[in-house]
Structure 1
Amino acid sequence: MVGYEDLRRPGGYVVQVLAVGACYFAAGRLGLMRELVVEGAVVTPVYPASGVAVAALLILGVRCWPGITIGAYFVVLSIASPRLDVLGTLAGQTAAPVCAALLLRRACFHTDLGRLRDGLALVFLGALGAMLISASVGVGLLVVTDHLAAHSFWPVWLAWWVGDAMGVLLVTPLLLLLRSARRPPPLARWKEATALAVVACCLLPTAVYSSLSLLYLVYSLLIWTALRFQLAGSVLCALLTSVLATVAATDGVGAFAGLSRIEVMAKLQAFNGSMALTALLLSAVITEQRNTRRSVEQACQELVEVLEHLTAGEAPRPRPRPDAEGREDPRTGRSRSTS
């Protein structure tokens, strides 16, 4: 088994880059399985490859950016013929996650997402902010090369931007969580998790595929998972809900039946965005509060131990003073002089 330190060598760096490229390509193809056509352009409601890219740069370092370029190249090659504007698209797809990683490091981002400021940084810097680059470059090149009409710029740009941002909000926290996992939860937690999974499997399809538009029921489940399992539960619940909602939206069934393509995109992206924000920020607040309470309890326990030690102990006796030569009187403990 290759250790992390071995991956710092030149050969290990190549393995890292190829692994990032392979994961990016797999995530990109997975996202392209469900597409929406907006103004003649094909977009993905959730692009998980952007989340994989940001997580890889946060875990392995920014120097692994060539893997993102390689993976993005093969993703583009799998859906379109090679063109000159592809280079610009690859530059945008690479620059966006690199900018996200640099901004998060500048903001002292903690990968365990244990603070509210970490959740806010991931939302506004890593997702909503940095993904502006990929959307602007990609759609701008389509307009410049006459592959997209100028009046269609903003609808396609919005769909591209939100798709990349949703990939960061849903996939990046999950990958960071898997990296920080140390040991499995106790049996009692597994029982509760199983019960929660059963409820989710019953509630989520009903909320998404019902013609009564019961999507609001998902938020009660998100709150439950965030309260009991923090980031792990809320992110998994949000990801599963997003997958089901995307499938229903692209098929035009359930809560998305009878809507135009623009209306489907707007409703789906608004739902995915609000759900991802709720899951991420709520779990971050709960985790931060629990960590604060744990720190206060530990400090109180230490204070109690100190007070018990001082109460049970005797008053300290005055230390004998040595004589001029540093000797003490063995009978009285007082110093004596030899003069």
Structure 2
Amino acid sequence: MPSPGDGHCLMAAVASIEGIRHPFVAALRILGVALVYYAGASIGTLKGVVRAEGTAISPLWPPTGIALAALLLLGIGIWPGITLGTLFTLVTQAPLTATAVGIMAGNTLAPVCSYLLLRRVGFRIELDRLRDGMALVFLGALTGMLISATAGAGIQLLNGKLPEGFQLAWLAWWTGDAMGVLVVTPFLLLVCRVRLPLRTHRWPEATALVLAAAVITPLAITRSLTLIFLFFPVLIWAALRFQLAGSAPYALLVSVLAIFEAGERYGAFAEHTLMERLVSLQLLNGAVALTSLLLAATVAEQKNIRQKLQQACDELAAVVERLAPRQMPVLPPQDGDENST
């Protein structure tokens, strides 16, 4: 028969294993975030990157969206993974210098500050309220990414790589990081909530939406600018009928296709200067992301309100039914009663 001392030893062993497992799991998460961050940076530099004054400019920088999504899903403790991912990216692009520390600091502080701002206003990762969409746009993307853009462009300026193009580089850096948050973060938050098997009673409509997107989107982007907004009806359809599950993937598709077209200098962006292509891309990606995010959040919020109202009505009806006096059944008159005839 085991003694009480054996039980204490067993509990101590389990506690020791748990103490080892938690740091190990945290280290794995940090390494995973770093690898995904590096993969996003590699994708961001494949196509659609223009160069001004020796500086690479990406109209859509996925790592910022990956970093913010990781913070929202895993907590602030994974911030070293963002720094490590930035280090991996810098090592593969050029020899490390002292300025790399400033770039790593800016790329880490920007999503961390965005995360803290979103937590401050009670942001929910379901993005089912209009206030959540507005917070992600103005706090997570436009405000938080000021840090990385200012740090990155400022360091390039101090190194003499931007003798005359600081404003262009800063604007491109800021909008590229902001677009990464607006386009990539909602998509990743959606993917992490998906549970298989998918259950929906609108498979025929979903199939029709996919076919329309496959036909209209390349047609709109590969033609002249007069047709570039043909895909907006499809985007609105996706947001109205499927909310974030439909609009987030489609917004990402439109942005990626537009960047590929602009990088190849044909289609809707042919015969345009660097500044014109950059401004057109930023305006297009911004309009797509805002329409997708805010419209989907508004529709989801309205659906939640209707569901809560229906639930409240059902609960009220149940309470009224319990409190209402029961009516006694009326018995027919019997023989011998005074009122009988």
Asked if 1 retains the 8 angstrom alpha-carbon contact of 2:225 and 2:269, the reply is no
1:89 aligns with 2:103: yes
SS of the counterpart of 1:215?
helix
Structure-2 change in CA distance of 1:240 and 1:7 (3 Å): farther
Deviation at 1:286, TM superposition (A): 0.6
1:18 aligns with 2:40: no
Matched residues in 2 for 1:213 and 1:265: separation? 18
Q: Deviations over 1:223-254 (max 9, x none)?
A: 10001100111111110000110000111111
Normalising by structure 1, we get a TM-score of: 0.88
For these two proteins, the number of residue pairs brought into alignment is: 310
Task: Say if 1:181 and 1:62 are closer, same or farther in 2 by CA, change over 3 A.
Answer: same
1:216 to 229, 246, 259: 229
How does 1:71-82 map onto structure 2 within 5 Å?
71-82=85-96
Q: C-alpha deviations, 1:74-119, integer Å up to 9, x for none?
A: 1112122211111110110111011111111111111111111110
Contact in 1 for aligned 2:54/2:161 (Cα 8 Å): no
> Which of 122, 130, 134 is the equivalent residue of 2:144?
130
2:287 counterpart residue number: 274
Question: Aligned-pair RMSD on alpha carbons?
Answer: 1.8
Name the structure 1 match of 2:15: none
In 1: Cα distance, 2:72 partner to 2:265 partner: 37
Partners of 1:39 and 1:155 within 8 A in 2: no
Q: Is the 8 A contact 1:231 1:280 kept in 2?
A: yes
Amino acid at match of 1:101: Y
User: 1:18, 1:265 → 2: CA distance?
Assistant: 34
Percent identity, please.
Answer: 47
Q: Deviations over 1:5-43 (max 9, x none)?
A: 999811111001100100100011011112111343211
Q: CA deviation at 1:183?
A: 4.8
Match among 286, 301, 307 for residue 288 of structure 1:
301
The 3-state SS of whatever aligns with 1:227 is helix
Alpha-carbon distance in structure 2 between the residues aligned to 1:160 and 1:9: 37
Residue correspondence of structure 1 range 127-206 to structure 2 within 5 A:
127-149=141-163, 151-186=164-199, 188-206=201-219
Check if 1:28 corresponds to 2:41. yes
Q: Which residue of 2 aligns with 1:323?
A: none
The residue that corresponds to 1:308 in the other structure is 321
Alpha-carbon offset, residue 194 of structure 1: 1.5
Cα distance between partner residues in 1 of 2:247 and 2:233: 11
Relative distance call for 1:8 and 1:302 in structure 2 (3 A) is farther
